[in-house]
Amino acid sequence: MTISTSPKTISIKQFFDRDSCTYTYLLIDTESHQGAIIDGVKEQLKRDLQYIEELGIELLYAIETHVHADHISSAGLIRQKTGAKIVYSQAAGIKSIDIELNDGDELTLGRYHIKAISTPGHTSGCMSYLVNNMVFTGDTLLIRGCGRTDFQQGRSEDLYHSVTEKLFTLPDETIVYPGHDYNGNTSSTIVEEKQWNARLGKQKSLVDFINIMDNLNLTLPKKINEAVPANEACGINVNPNTYVHEDFSMTSLYQIWQQKNPEYLIIDNRTQEEYLAGHIPHSQNIPLGTEPDHLVALKRFEHIYIYCHSGRRSQTALTNLAMMGLENITCVSHSGFAQWQALGYPIE
């Protein structure tokens, strides 16, 4: 389903995974074509990537509302394929992500801001996201219901405060997009939920709410033992020992370059056109996404250094190589060839 309020505005696509009843959202600034995905499902990766490609989206973020227990996230694979940054709340405590948000932090998406609202309770690391008049609530607030609070450091009291003191204080007309729905509903509004939410509406008291939550008698999600550990690794199987993710500057790279050590390889992972227009002498062009074609050759080197134009693609390449089992990789993560040129270092 596509929701768009005017031709040049933010466009929202809502996708459904039947197996887990999960909603995934694609947010697109129609002017810049920058986009973000919220709560991608691993089994639906192909569908989501196809939309991203067909709509010409430059995907900046793979945002998670929380560590899911009922499905495996596609965030790690999305990052690998698109270079998008993985976003979680800091409280989720997930390693090897790119952006950790705290309450009130904002992400920029074209002309829009995605505002993080910390809403613990379903899990201790749940985050809702507000964009214009829409709030993506994950499993904190569902349509006429809410997420369970009996695992992953969930706490009914926290969820009650998150909903009544944070989400319910948003403007009445704010559209609520939940993380799941099991009854065929797609969205709601704050005013509707304040009135009709079966667990939290009509100014339900904390005591009544806790009483409801304590008596749900739910069985555990069937994928919990598989999904939670997988999602703590962003949905991919990365051996943390091979994942070298240092902050390394272009000046440090210049010092390495001067050593002319044949055991070291410097990779330029920009496109071939960018590489041909000028690159670091003796660097090898391995455009982002083509790393598997070079695995055998890369294994010969003692240490691999990666740069791109600004530091974004090089981080993705590092993840790709680490997932292929390579060790001793360093990427220039906050600058790139533009900086090398600015510093007046040699160019081929």
Number of residues that bind Fe ion (CB under 5 A): 1
**Toward Fe ion, which CB reaches closer, 22 or 333?**
22
Q: Whole-number minimum distance, CB 181 to Fe ion, in Å?
A: 13
Distance of CA 226 to the CA centre of its chain: 19
Q: Which residue is at the shortest CB distance from Fe ion? A: 139
Q: Which stretch binds Fe ion (CB under 5 A): 18-26, 46-54, 139-147, 248-256?
A: 139-147
Asked if residues 138 and 147 have their Cβ atoms less than 8 Å apart, the reply is: yes
Could you tell me the smallest distance in angstroms from the CB atom of residue 54 to Fe ion? Answer: 29
Among the candidate windows 73-81, 136-144, 293-301, 315-323, which touches Fe ion by CB under 5 A? Answer: 136-144
82-85, long-range: CB within 8 Å, 24+ apart, which pairs? 82/49, 82/52, 82/316, 83/59, 83/288, 83/312, 83/313, 83/315, 83/316, 84/36, 84/37, 84/59, 84/60, 85/60, 85/61, 85/312
Q: Tell me how far apart the alpha carbons of residues 69 and 111 are, in angstroms, rounded to a whole number.
A: 33
Stretch that binds Fe ion, among 40-48, 137-145, 184-192, 332-340 (CB under 5 A): 137-145
Q: Coil, strand, or helix at residue 140?
A: coil
The torsion angle over the Cα atoms of residues 134, 230, 219 and 148, rounded to 10 degrees, is: -30
Stretch in the footprint of Fe ion (CB under 5 A) among 35-43, 131-139, 212-220, 245-253: 131-139
Under rule CB under 5 A, residue 39 binds Fe ion: no
User: Shortest gap between Cβ of 62 and Fe ion (angstroms)?
Assistant: 17
Please report how close the Cβ of residue 87 comes to Fe ion at its closest, in angstroms: 17
Query: Is the torsion defined by CA of 83, 96, 11, 48 positive or negative?
Result: positive
Q: Name the residue nearer to Fe ion (CB basis): 48 or 139.
A: 139
State the minimum distance, in angstroms, from the CB of residue 91 to Fe ion: 14
Q: Which of residues 249-278 bind Fe ion (CB under 5 A)?
A: none
Q: Which of residues 315-344 bind Fe ion (CB under 5 A)?
A: none
Judged by CB under 5 A, does residue 139 bind Fe ion? yes
98 touches Fe ion by CB under 5 A: no
Q: What is the separation, in whole angstroms, between the first and last Cα of the chain?
A: 49
Cα→Cα distances 292→101, 286, 311, Å:
32, 10, 20
Question: At residue 74, what are phi and psi to the nearest 5 degrees?
Answer: -95, 5
Segment near Fe ion (CB under 5 A), from 30-38, 133-141, 276-284, 336-344?
A: 133-141
State which residue, 10 or 91, has the beta carbon closest to Fe ion.
Answer: 91
| Nearest approach, Cβ of residue 25 and Fe ion (Å) | 15
Q: Which is nearer to Fe ion, 88 or 337 (CB)?
A: 88
Binding site for Fe ion (CB under 5 A): 139
